[in-house]
Structure 1
Amino acid sequence: MVGAISRKQWFTLIVAVTLTAHYFFFRVPFVANDYGRNMAEWPLLADALISFPLLYYFMFRPSLKQFVPAWAGIGAAGVLLGRLLIPDESKQLWREIEGYWLLLVMVEAALELYLLVLVARRVRALLRLSGNADEALEGAVRSRLGSKGFARFALFEMRIWYYGLFMRKGEQLRFRGEQHFTYDKNNGNVSNQFAFIMVVLFEMPLSHLMVHLMSVQPWVAWTLDVLTLWSMLYLVAEYRASQWRPISLDRNALLVRNGVFAADRTVDYSMIESVTRCGNDISRQRGILRFRQFGSLNVEIRLRAGGRLATNFGGERPVSALYLSLDKPDAFIDALRARL
């Protein structure tokens, strides 16, 4: 059983146990913290900036280009956790760190701007060559950041920027696969997404006015507006990608795409045991993947024992079945059975 635990799970377990120890150190008076009178902050900072990044390096052996952004991400997460774990009355070092929150925001903005420029230049050039948006985005990220670690998050963000702002003439896009099947019209899928976006837009000025009337500082209202607009970019990207990114049958594998929020999955035909129609009453449970959005589930794909598929940001997990919501489920089932 121990041998089945992956390095990523070991890393997560070690970090979780260490953070739990820090939580009890800051929240429970006992002899190690002089019964609440001496809560040193530097061990948590050392773990966030040194111990955890070094543990990540020695366990995963990333390249320097992959390790630097991973180190920055681990450090930023550690600073945020410290803000939550350490009681306000015990903060000294952390109060100084929190004074640089604007710098952290600027770093995040610079990262997004870098990805935006990468989208605008590199991806546009690649799209002219093939018209395949997925390959263009993956090629742009791989050429700069590799294919693991931070590169997966960068690819996710680039898809958001591309489909949210830059995509034009979606009908001219090309995608890998020999047969393509859509899911945008199932139970009014994208129409419901559009309605949800309109509700958020309608609500934004009302929430802005309410925050002002509550006598909160003006910057709070404007920050709320910026965050709402930022979330709108993600919703619009999902809405537009759902119209054009199909689920496809390739020569040797099923290619499952579902908007931009869900990770793409490649399912070899040899992994598939059966494909049948199903109802919409499939509850969330371990070992299954549901690709529903606002549609209705209507296709069940059972995998053979031991099947594993990719997670959102790297690694794999056991999967026994996939459930899809397609516009033409019967045509998809017939086509997939013919290939099996």
Structure 2
Amino acid sequence: MSPSVISKFPLLFFIAISLWWGFYYQSNSSLNDFGQANFEFLYLLDVFIVLPIICFLAVKNKKEALLKAITLCCLAVWVGSYIIPASSKFIWPYLESGRYVISALILLFELAAIVTVVLAIKTALDDKVDPDLAISQPIERFLGKSVVATVLNFETRMWTFALFAKRVKPDNYQGSKHFSYHQKDGSQSNLLGFVFLIALEMPLMHLLLHFAWSPLAANIVTILSLLSLVFFLAEYRAMAKRPISIDGDDLIIRYGLYQPLKVPLSNIKDIKGNDVFVAREKSIKRYVYSGVPNIKIVLAEPIGEVEKIFIGVDNPHSFIESIKHSL
């Protein structure tokens, strides 16, 4: 069984125990002695003993396993607050109060991302290194190459372009030749339209929900809208800053805030233009904002499950000629 499948066991176990114990606690039958055997420790044993053990057995990276165990246990506490009857809760009220601790941890996570942004930008400006490396290296040095590190990389990159885009220079990115994609089919202009739309809609939606529904719902929707605004603003700025590059024997595909994809030139079997719509498939990687991608790359050997890469660039003819020349 592949490691990627095994790593999903903790989540599957969490879903399974939540469904099973939810049915157990909410049923009124001989299964739970007609509601007299709704002991909370039954769910506690699975959540705080079995679940962490499965996390550490299924995930090789111990830091990632610990973070996954903490996350799933916190989710289980939230689920338990709903499925366990109030009359059977003795320890659970204390666990539920831990939501303030979880909120503090989330806040610390956000602050860590912002601090990393400042340090990464300072390093990029002082040493003129690739801004992506300036962000990823300190994170991966602490967390390793894990899912958590990838998420934090993305979030840090988002805050970088949302707050300090003017200080990021495209020339500092690795590569001898750079190619842009932000002008294709008005991609950047369309994204700016989304930014203005969210900014204009947010106060109106907040007032409507505040008076028509509840202040809590209004605050939640406004926070989510604000995060969406930050994302679209960062994406808008990153489009013109993060180029697709040829660096020695590699093609580095950067696209907005996407995680960069490095493709060895020797692994490119064929490259040509494209003018048709491309549907989503597991074997296809698409990089395009507007219209259809105008570049089709066929790989000699798959990268993971990806066999073909479709990209939308501003000057497809120049891009194809440069790749063929490098090949």
Structure 1 contact 45–78 (Cα < 8 Å) conserved? no
Confirm whether residue 299 of structure 1 aligns to residue 291 of structure 2: no
Shift of 1:143: 3.5
- 1:224 counterpart residue number: 221
Provide, for residues 215-239 of structure 1, a one-character-per-residue CA deviation record: whole Å limited to 9, x for no partner: 52x3432333222212211111111
Q: Distance in 2 between matches of 1:177 and 1:200?
A: 35
Structure 2 contact 18–76 (Cα < 8 Å) conserved? no
- 2:57 counterpart residue number: 58
Q: Distance in 2 between matches of 1:307 and 1:90?
A: 56
Stretch moving more, 324-333 or 5-14: 5-14
Q: Distance in 1 between matches of 2:96 and 2:55?
A: 25
Q: Distance in 2 between matches of 1:58 and 1:249?
A: 40
- 1:258 counterpart residue number: 255
- 1:242 counterpart residue number: 239
Structure 1 contact 193–294 (Cα < 8 Å) conserved? no
Q: Distance in 2 between matches of 1:183 and 1:112?
A: 30
- 1:193 counterpart residue number: 191
Do the aligned partners of residues 237 and 53 (structure 1) sit closer, same or farther apart at CA in structure 2, a change above 3 Å counting?
farther
Shift of 1:281: 1.0
Structure 2 contact 78–96 (Cα < 8 Å) conserved? no
Shift of 1:287: 1.1
Structure 1 contact 123–140 (Cα < 8 Å) conserved? no
- 2:142 counterpart residue number: 144
- 1:174 counterpart residue number: 172
SS at match of 1:165: helix
Q: Let me know the Cα RMSD of the aligned residues.
A: 2.8
Give the residue type in structure 1 aligned to 2:52: P
Do the aligned partners of residues 32 and 301 (structure 1) sit closer, same or farther apart at CA in structure 2, a change above 3 Å counting?
farther
Do the aligned partners of residues 78 and 87 (structure 1) sit closer, same or farther apart at CA in structure 2, a change above 3 Å counting?
closer
Stretch moving more, 221-230 or 164-173: 164-173
- Structure 2: gaps (5+ residues): none
Shift of 1:136: 0.8
- Structure 1: gaps (5+ residues): 309-316
SS at match of 1:301: strand
Structure 1 contact 197–235 (Cα < 8 Å) conserved? yes
Structure 2 contact 298–307 (Cα < 8 Å) conserved? yes
- 2:209 counterpart residue number: 211
Stretch moving more, 220-229 or 30-39: 30-39
Aligned length: 323
Select which of 289, 301, 318 maps to 2:285. Answer: 289
Shift of 1:156: 1.5
Do the aligned partners of residues 8 and 81 (structure 1) sit closer, same or farther apart at CA in structure 2, a change above 3 Å counting?
farther
Structure 1 contact 131–173 (Cα < 8 Å) conserved? no
Structure 1 contact 190–294 (Cα < 8 Å) conserved? no
Structure 2 contact 22–84 (Cα < 8 Å) conserved? yes
Q: Distance in 2 between matches of 1:274 and 1:298?
A: 14
Give the residue type in structure 2 aligned to 1:286: K
SS at match of 1:244: coil
Stretch moving more, 136-145 or 236-245: 136-145
Q: Distance in 1 between matches of 2:264 and 2:285?
A: 16
Shift of 1:152: 1.9
- Structure 1 segments of 4+ aligned residues over 6 angstroms from their partners: 87-91
Select which of 108, 111, 114 maps to 2:112. Answer: 114
Do the aligned partners of residues 51 and 87 (structure 1) sit closer, same or farther apart at CA in structure 2, a change above 3 Å counting?
closer
Structure 1 contact 188–295 (Cα < 8 Å) conserved? no
SS at match of 1:249: strand
Stretch moving more, 321-330 or 166-175: 166-175
Shift of 1:180: 1.1
Select which of 316, 320, 323 maps to 2:307. Answer: 320
Confirm whether residue 270 of structure 1 aligns to residue 270 of structure 2: no
Confirm whether residue 331 of structure 1 aligns to residue 326 of structure 2: no
TM norm structure 2? 0.86
Select which of 122, 125, 128 maps to 1:127. Answer: 125
Alignment of 1:47-86 (within 5 A): 47-63=46-62, 66-82=64-80, 86=83
Do the aligned partners of residues 195 and 120 (structure 1) sit closer, same or farther apart at CA in structure 2, a change above 3 Å counting?
same
Structure 1 contact 126–136 (Cα < 8 Å) conserved? yes
Confirm whether residue 102 of structure 1 aligns to residue 97 of structure 2: no
